């Protein structure tokens, strides 16, 4: 095992030791103490002079961005070290490309002799062991890839079960003191979260909410968690509208575990890619909610309504709801003075405003107040008719029948979800069997494809049922409650209007079209003049 070194006084030795969490599974022989003892025995036997010992404890071999490895490279650059010794090749690294780079290019160029004790590798002498080094590097890389797959599979299984596997829980939550992978409400900052949702429900924009929190001196999530700041700037430690918007749309606050939003490119890279919403892993009712679902849904509607407007200067009741009937784009607002010198808001078509000379669309100019009054009057009229008991009777009868069907739908949904969960568990178990060698590759592919196809069909059935899950009875009750609130508090809250109305369109001849979120309310067009 030990190699011969003819001129030990010519070398300044770096003893390099690395241990990752995955390596610990191989047993105590890979421990830092064991590696250090083996290396020191070798240098003592060969009377070598050790310049320093470099230890990276807890660092993966797939990355060479390790603190002590980089310190060793710096010492090589300054010619303080000209020999590197490791226990085996995998201690140097498990990425066969970078391992080959250091062994075959970097060390020779810097006149550094590399020795791997257990592999019999010594770049200072001609040896057959050196010839098969690239193959050893590839095998080490394959081992790292296999370990990465196993870890990824375990993590994915925990995510599907609704277990939290992240580093820090979402602001407003903390780790459970006794139960692993579970989060609970952090009562110290939960009132801040509830306050943010309350301000949003009152119609405050994300920017205004952030400004309010900054004025009150409320610590940001990063400050509260004592997270280090990489590149401090003028806005470090301040709330932002982006942070508020992210919080207001995060289902974690209604008791759903949301994970898988970012995925690592590969086991060799730390870079993560943002995943589309359909690829997220969302498990419902895994922990105690901070806000109720109705509040969360209303806030989301308010946020979505603001996506259709770019003006941050003027606030008006129909903001984000009013569109051009002809071109479909949101109407812009202009501030103009009337004959009396009073400032008034006017709606104009944004398309016409941008492409006036091209003759695209028309002006649609009309007072904002005129349109708002016409809309409120029509909504009040529709709501009054909707609350008429005679007109509500057939809706109620249909709702009762639909409620009975909903019970059957819910039972079928639970059965489908149970089957899907069972198939997912079977797929995970099969994958582990394949890795252990108890299941052949051909059998794995055949069974895997069949189960995956069957699971996809069940998932499609579940999605179709979920679309029908919300019973008309619930919809009608909610519509009636909103209508009643609107009748009692007309013009008092934008939240009410956004909850009732999905879209308002203004035509060239000043006709208004209202699309309600509840179909029984939809009226024909009416004039705004």
Convert the pLDDT of each residue in 160-212 to its tens digit: 888 888 778 889 999 888 888 888 999 898 999 999 998 888 878 888 888 88
Over residues 271-302, the pLDDT tens digits come to 777 778 777 888 888 889 999 888 888 888 87
pLDDT (0 to 100) of residue 73:
94
Contact criterion met (CB below 8 Å) for 195 and 298: no
For residue 80, the domain's CATH number is: 3.40.50.1390
Choose the most confident range, by mean pLDDT, from 131-135, 171-175, 406-410.
Answer: 171-175
CATH code, domain carrying 210: 3.90.1750.20
pLDDT in tens, 367-400: 888 888 888 888 777 777 665 655 544 554 555 4
**pTM here?**
0.45
Split into its structural domains, the chain has a count of: 3
In a domain, 156, yes or no: no
Do residue 18 and residue 110 come from a single domain? yes
Residue 512: predicted pLDDT:
85
Domain boundary among 251, 271, 306: 306
Alpha carbon dihedral 451, 452, 457, 462, in 10-degree steps, equals 100
Residues comprising the chain, all counted: 529
Pairing type for strands 113-116 and 83-86 reads parallel
Taking each helix axis from N to C end, the angle separating 241-248 and 293-305, rounded to the nearest 10 degrees, works out to 130
**471 pLDDT above the threshold of 80:** no
Q: Give the structural domain span for 416.
A: 313-529
Residue 387 shares a structural domain with residue 472 = yes
Quote the tokens at residue 141.
């890389």
Query: Mean pLDDT throughout 485-505?
Result: 68
Give the pLDDT confidence score for residue 2 in this predicted structure: 47
Which of 269-278, 281-290, 437-446, 496-505 is the least confident region?
269-278
Co-location of 248 and 125 in the same domain: no
* Residue 457 binned pLDDT confidence (cut-offs 50, 70, 90): confident
**How does pLDDT run across 322-372, given as a tens digit for each residue?**
888 888 888 888 887 777 777 788 888 877 777 666 667 888 888 888 888
Clarify whether residues 438 and 496 are in a common domain.
Answer: yes
Whether residue 396 is found in the same domain as residue 430: yes
Percent of the chain with pLDDT over 70: 73
- Burial pattern 63-74, b for ≥16 Cβ within 10 A else e, equals bbebebbeebbe
Could you tell me which residue, 93 or 147, shows the higher pLDDT? 93
What pLDDT sits at residue 94? 81
What is the share, in percent, of the chain residues with pLDDT greater than 90? 10
Same domain, 215 and 124: no
CA 484, chain centre distance (Å)? 38
Mean pLDDT for 147-162 is 72
User: What is the spatial distance between Cα 300 and Cα 248, in angstroms, rounded to a whole number?
Assistant: 7
């Amino acid at each position: 095992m030990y190699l011969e070194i003819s001129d030990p006084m010519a070398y300044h030795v770096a003893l390099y030791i690395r241990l990752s969490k995955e390596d610990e599974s191989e047993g105590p022989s890979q421990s830092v103490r064991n590696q250090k003892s083996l290396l020191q025995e070798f240098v003592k036997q060969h009377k070598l002079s050790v310049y320093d010992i470099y230890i990276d404890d807890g660092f993966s071999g797939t990355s060479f961005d390790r603190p002590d490895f980089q310190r060793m490279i710096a010492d090589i650059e300054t010619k303080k070290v000209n020999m590197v010794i490791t226990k085996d090749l995998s201690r140097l690294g498990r990425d066969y490309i970078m391992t080959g780079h250091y062994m075959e290019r970097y060390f020779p160029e810097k006149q550094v002799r590399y020795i791997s004790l257990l592999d019999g590798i010594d770049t200072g002498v001609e040896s057959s062991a050196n010839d098969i080094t690239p193959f050893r590097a590839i095998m080490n890389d394959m081992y790292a890839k296999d370990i990465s797959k196993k870890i990824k599979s375990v993590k994915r299984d925990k995510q599907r079960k609704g277990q939290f596997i992240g580093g820090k829980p979402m602001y407003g939550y903390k780790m459970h003191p006794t139960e692993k992978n579970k989060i609970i409400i952090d009562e110290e900052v939960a009132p801040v979260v509830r306050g943010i949702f309350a301000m949003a429900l009152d119609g405050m924009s994300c920017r205004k909410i952030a400004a309010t929190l900054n004025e009150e001196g409320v610590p940001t999530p990063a400050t509260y968690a004592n997270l280090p700041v990489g590149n401090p700037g003028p806005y470090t430690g301040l709330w932002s509208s982006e942070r508020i918007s992210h919080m207001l749309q995060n289902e974690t606050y209604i008791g759903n575990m949301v994970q898988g939003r970012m995925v690592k490119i590969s086991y060799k890279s730390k870079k993560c890619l943002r995943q589309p919403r359909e690829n997220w892993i969302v498990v419902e009712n895994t922990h105690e909610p901070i806000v109720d679902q109705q509040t969360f849904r209303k806030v989301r509607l308010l946020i979505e309504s603001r996506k259709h407007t770019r003006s941050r200067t003027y606030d008006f009741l129909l903001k984000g709801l009013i569109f051009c009937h002809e071109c479909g784009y949101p109407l812009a607002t202009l501030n103009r003075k009337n004959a009396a010198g009073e400032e008034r808001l006017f709606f104009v078509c944004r398309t016409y405003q941008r492409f006036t000379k091209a003759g695209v669309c028309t002006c649609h100019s009309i007072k904002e107040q005129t349109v708002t009054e016409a809309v409120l009057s029509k909504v009040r009229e529709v709501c009054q008719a909707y609350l008429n008991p005679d007109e509500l009777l057939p809706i109620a009868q249909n709702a009762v029948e639909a409620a009975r069907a909903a019970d059957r739908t819910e039972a079928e949904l639970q059965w489908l979800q149970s089957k899907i969960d069972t198939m997912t568990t079977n797929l995970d178990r099969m994958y582990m069997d394949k890795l252990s060698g108890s299941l052949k590759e051909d059998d794995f592919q055949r069974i895997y494809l069949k189960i995956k196809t069957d699971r996809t069909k069940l998932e499609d059935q579940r999605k179709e049922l979920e679309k029908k899950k919300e019973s008309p009875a619930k919809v009608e009750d909610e519509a009636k409650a909103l209508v009643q609130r609107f009748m009692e508090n007309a013009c008092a809250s934008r939240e009410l209007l956004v909850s009732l109305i999905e879209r308002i369109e203004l035509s060239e001849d000043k006709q208004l079209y209202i699309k309600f979120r509840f179909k029984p309310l939809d009226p024909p067009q009416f004039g705004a003049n």
